[in-house]
Amino acid sequence: MIKVFVVNVLLMSMFCVSGKRDPIRLPDFPDSLGIAGAFMGVSNGAVIVAGGSQFEKPQWNDGTKQVLDGIWVLCKDAGEYKWKYAGKLPFHVSNGASVTVPQGVICIGGATDTAESDAVLLLTWDTVRRTIRIKQLPSLPQPCAYLSAIAQEEQVMVAGGRNSDSPDGMDNWWMLDLRPASPQHWQSLGLLPSPRFGAIFAFLRDGNRRYVVLGSGKSENNYLTDLYRCSLDDKAGTWGRLRAMPRAALVAPRVSTGGSAMWVLGGSDGVNIANRLALRNEYHLNETILKYDMRTDSWTVVGTLPEGIAATRALPWENGVLLVGGELGNAMRSPKVWLYNELITKNEENRRIDSSSVFNAER
């Protein structure tokens, strides 16, 4: 049996996704060049955004990607949302994965200025000193970027990614259990159905059965739409195929309510990607919000974003869902910050929000 005890990440008091999709615009990310591919999560009520990347000008105008090391914190202070600069990471890094756990935000892998990283860091917001504490955690078994991550309380799983040895995608499935009595190293839980990077990765339930769900991403030059689930109660750890997604959703943020459904927001669908540079500002990422329900094994388009983005996260925060920055269709980064107060609303079910997702930049 795969021994993973599923206890959802962040209690947000009986939420589900509603039909309303109008977000509130919060103060922009402090850098006007925007940000994508950053580590993101919530610690002691504050949103942490660390590392990431940006372009100073478009790629068709000889723009080059800048990898960042800054740490920024978004807090609500006396009723106002404010950004605060909170220091630097030990190195410049982008295109990793992160998850929120009770101890803070775990930042996993990524790509530095020169190579993929195997580093794993815990970032914690100190509410007294109003600073970030950084702790090193056990390194990944291999350096890895463009990986996907999920967390349930003190257990972290990562899936896929790519590195110099596997540039077309990896099929790894690893877990780190942070509980004191557990082995303090990453454990292999088996292999994915196929190698990929930038995939959708989530915990879902179907009745009393617990599943890990994996889908989309990219392998070699192929944008994937396949979807699989693996029961955490299955001794064999077998992946079963589910209904394919209506479109690809590479490095798309997603959110789930700890039940049978998840929502996928935007992402890169690969449509006309070969002509992106020629189209310049006329190329846009997909703007649709997709809902998947495992009870009926069905996909539904339930809304649209203000603009198509990828390479950010859907963070449960302030009784809503927060989107910070993201990659735009022209590969520039957005500085915009949106809070969906009505994307998640109360209902009769006691659900907990889990937004552990990928947030990698495709480029």
In a domain, 299, yes or no: yes
Domain CATH code at residue 258: 2.120.10.80
Residue 252, both tokens: 């798309």
Instruction: Read off the pTM.
Output: 0.90
Q: How confident is the model at residue 357 (pLDDT cuts 50, 70, 90)?
A: very low
Q: Does the pLDDT of residue 3 top 60, yes or no?
A: no
Tally of domains in the chain: 1
Give the pLDDT confidence score for residue 288 in this predicted structure.
96
In a domain, 247, yes or no: yes
In a domain, 19, yes or no: yes
Give the pLDDT confidence score for residue 355 in this predicted structure.
46
Give the pLDDT confidence score for residue 136 in this predicted structure.
98
Which stretch of 89-93, 233-237, 267-271 has the lowest confidence by average pLDDT?
A: 233-237
Q: Distance between CA 174 and CA 157 in Å, rounded?
A: 6
In a domain, 5, yes or no: no
Give the pLDDT confidence score for residue 130 in this predicted structure.
95
Q: Does the pLDDT of residue 62 top 50, yes or no?
A: yes
Share of the chain above pLDDT 90, in %: 77
pLDDT digits (tens, 9 = 90+) for 194-236: 999 999 999 999 998 999 999 999 999 999 999 999 998 887 7
Structural domain boundaries, residue 106: 10-358
What is the distance between the terminal CA atoms of the chain, rounded to a whole angstrom?
38
pLDDT digits (tens, 9 = 90+) for 126-185: 999 999 999 999 999 999 999 999 998 789 999 999 999 999 999 999 999 999 989 899
Average pLDDT of the chain?
A: 88
Contacts with 212 (C-beta within 8 Å, 6 or more apart), sequence order? 150, 157, 201, 202, 203, 229, 230, 232
In a domain, 1, yes or no: no
In a domain, 4, yes or no: no
In a domain, 2, yes or no: no
Q: Does the pLDDT of residue 13 top 80, yes or no?
A: no
In a domain, 216, yes or no: yes
